[in-house]
C-alpha cells in the first residue's frame, strides 16, 4: 500500500483543444538499444541475428552514452536476440535485460523490452521495471512454419501462451504481424482473430504492429503499388477485426511517405517508436517527426507524441512506474501545448 509520502496524483490524460481525436496519429520518441544480436533461433527472414559467440554485446557504458546522446527520447526500446530457456547463459542474459531497464529508468526514460518468450517469473520481473512489453505474434500457417523451422521460440502455441501470460499478469502489451513472407490472406485473418480473442479476454493489447517484411542491404526496395494495395486491404480488415481500442501501428520508414495518408485512412493510427535509424531495417531511413508531421497535417492529420505505455494503461502500472509515466506524460503534453 502507498504511504502518505508516496501518494501518486491520479493520472489525467489531458487533451488539446481543437484536435479531433479521430484524426490523431501517435508516435513515441524512442531510442533503441540492442543488448545482443546473438540469438539461438534462426528465422530465415532475419537480417538482425548473429551466431552466438560471434558478436560483442552492448555494454552498460555504451548504452549510457547512447541514451545521453538522445535526451528527448522518453522510450528506450530494448530489442534483443534470445538465449534458449535451458541454457546456462540464460540467467546472465536476463540479468542484463534488467540492468538495461534500470539504466533507462535512472536516466528518466521508460524501457519497453522485446526479447522473445519469457518465463512467468521473468516476465513479472521485467514488468516491475518496464511499463509495457512486446512480442510479435509474427504469423501462422505453412509459410511461417517453413521460415521458423530452426526457431523454437516462434511456435504459435508458445507465442499465444506468452500473450495470455501477459494478460493474466496485467501487463500492457504490444504485438504484431510480419507481413509479406508468403503467408495467405486467410492466415493473416486468422492471426488477427487470435489477437482479437486475446484482447476480448484480457484487454491488455495496446497496439498491433502491421509490419511489412522488406529485403535489407543492397536488395532494399520500397513497397510497390500492388504490395501497398494488398496491405491497405489488410489494414482495413485489421480495423474491422480488432477491438477499436487497440491501435494499429505501421513503421513509417517501410511505407512510401507520399501514400502514408492512405494507410491512415484505412485504419493506421500509430507510427510507433521513432529513433534516428531502424536497427532491423537499416536500409530504410526513418523520416523525422517534423517531416511526418508536416506531411500529415497537409492531409488533415495531427501527429502527437506518446509514451511507450499508452495513456489508458497508465492507471494499470505499479506505483513507481505510474509515477514516472504520469510525470513524463505531463512533460510530453506540455511540449505539444508550448
Ligand atoms: S528470434 Fe528474432 S533475432 Fe532471433 S532469428 Fe528470429 S527474428 Fe532474428
The three cell numbers locating residue 297: 497535417
What pLDDT score does 5 carry? 45
| Residue range 302-330, pLDDT digits in tens | 999 999 999 999 999 999 999 999 999 99
Q: Output the nine-digit C-alpha cell for 165.
A: 501470460
Beta carbon of 42 within 6 Å of any ligand 1 atom: yes
Among 81, 117, 282, the mutation site with the greatest number of ligand 1 atoms within 8 A of its Cβ is: 81
Q: Are 67 and 31 in contact (CB under 8 A)?
A: yes
Hey, which of 43, 78, 181 would you mutate to test ligand 1's pocket, going by the most ligand atoms within 8 Å of its Cβ?
Answer: 43
Atom of ligand 1 nearest to the CA of 80: 3
Q: How many Cβ atoms sit within 10 Å of the Cβ of residue 158? A: 13
Tens digit of pLDDT for each residue in 43-82? 999 999 999 989 899 999 999 999 999 999 999 999 999 9
Mutate to test the pocket of ligand 1, among 34, 40, 46, 57 (most ligand atoms within 8 A of CB): 46
Ligand 1 in reach of 46 Cβ (< 6 A) = yes
Residue appearing with cell numbers 508536416: 294
Q: Whose CA is nearest to atom 2 of ligand 1?
A: 81
Which among 87, 94, 83, 79 is positioned nearest to 124, based on CA atoms? Answer: 94
Whole-angstrom Cα distance, residue 308 to residue 304? Answer: 13
Structural domains for the chain: 16-213+222-337 (3.20.20.70)
pLDDT tens digit sequence for 175-229? 999 999 999 999 999 999 999 999 999 999 999 999 999 998 899 999 999 999 9
Q: What is the pLDDT of residue 18?
A: 73
Exposed e or buried b per residue across 188-224, where buried means at least 16 C-beta atoms within 10 angstroms of its C-beta: bebbbebbbebbeebbbbbbbbbbbbbebeeeeeebe
φ, ψ dihedrals at 113, nearest 5°: -100, 140
DSSP bridge partners of 210 = 177
Ligand 1 atom having least distance to the Cα of 40: 4
Nearest CA residue ID for atom 7, ligand 1? 46
- List the Cα angle 155/274/139 in 5-degree steps: 20
Ligand 1: does its nearest atom lie under 6 Å from the Cβ of 153?
yes
Amino acid at each position: 500500500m502507498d504511504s502518505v509520502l508516496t501518494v501518486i496524483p491520479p493520472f489525467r490524460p489531458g487533451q488539446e483543444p481543437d484536435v479531433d481525436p479521430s484524426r490523431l496519429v501517435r508516435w513515441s520518441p524512442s531510442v533503441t538499444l540492442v543488448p545482443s544480436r546473438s540469438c539461438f533461433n534462426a528465422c530465415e527472414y532475419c537480417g538482425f541475428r548473429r551466431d552466438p559467440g560471434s558478436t560483442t554485446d552492448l555494454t552498460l557504458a555504451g548504452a549510457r552514452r547512447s541514451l545521453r546522446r538522445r535526451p528527448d527520447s522518453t522510450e528506450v526500446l530494448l530489442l534483443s536476440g534470445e538465449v534458449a530457456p535451458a541454457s546456462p547463459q540464460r540467467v546472465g542474459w536476463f540479468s542484463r535485460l534488467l540492468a538495461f531497464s534500470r539504466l533507462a529508468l535512472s536516466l528518466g526514460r521508460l524501457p519497453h523490452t522485446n526479447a522473445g518468450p519469457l518465463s512467468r517469473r521473468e516476465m513479472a520481473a521485467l514488468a516491475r521495471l518496464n511499463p509495457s512489453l512486446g512480442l510479435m505474434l509474427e504469423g501462422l500457417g505453412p509459410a511461417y512454419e517453413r521460415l521458423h523451422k530452426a526457431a523454437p521460440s516462434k511456435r504459435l502455441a508458445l507465442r499465444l501462451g506468452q500473450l495470455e501470460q501477459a494478460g493474466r499478469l496485467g501487463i500492457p502489451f504490444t504485438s504484431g504481424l510480419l507481413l509479406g513472407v508468403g503467408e495467405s490472406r486467410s492466415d493473416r485473418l486468422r492471426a488477427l482473430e487470435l489477437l482479437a480473442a486475446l484482447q476480448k479476454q484480457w484487454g491488455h493489447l495496446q497496439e498491433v504492429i502491421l509490419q511489412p517484411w522488406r529485403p535489407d542491404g543492397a536488395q532494399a526496395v520500397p513497397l510497390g503499388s500492388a504490395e501497398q494495395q494488398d496491405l491497405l486491404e489488410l489494414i482495413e480488415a485489421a480495423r474491422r477485426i480488432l477491438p477499436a481500442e487497440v491501435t494499429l501501428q505501421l513503421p513509417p520508414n517501410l511505407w512510401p511517405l507520399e501514400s502514408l495518408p492512405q494507410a491512415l485512412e484505412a485504419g493506421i493510427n500509430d507510427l510507433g517508436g521513432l529513433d534516428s535509424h531502424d536497427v532491423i531495417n537499416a536500409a530504410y531511413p526513418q523520416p523525422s517527426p517534423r517531416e511526418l508531421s508536416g506531411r500529415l497535417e497537409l492531409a488533415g492529420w495531427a501527429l502527437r507524441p506518446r509514451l511507450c505505455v499508452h495513456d489508458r494503461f497508465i492507471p494499470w502500472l505499479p506505483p513507481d512506474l505510474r509515477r514516472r509515466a504520469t510525470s513524463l506524460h505531463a512533460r510530453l503534453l506540455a511540449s505539444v501545448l508550448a
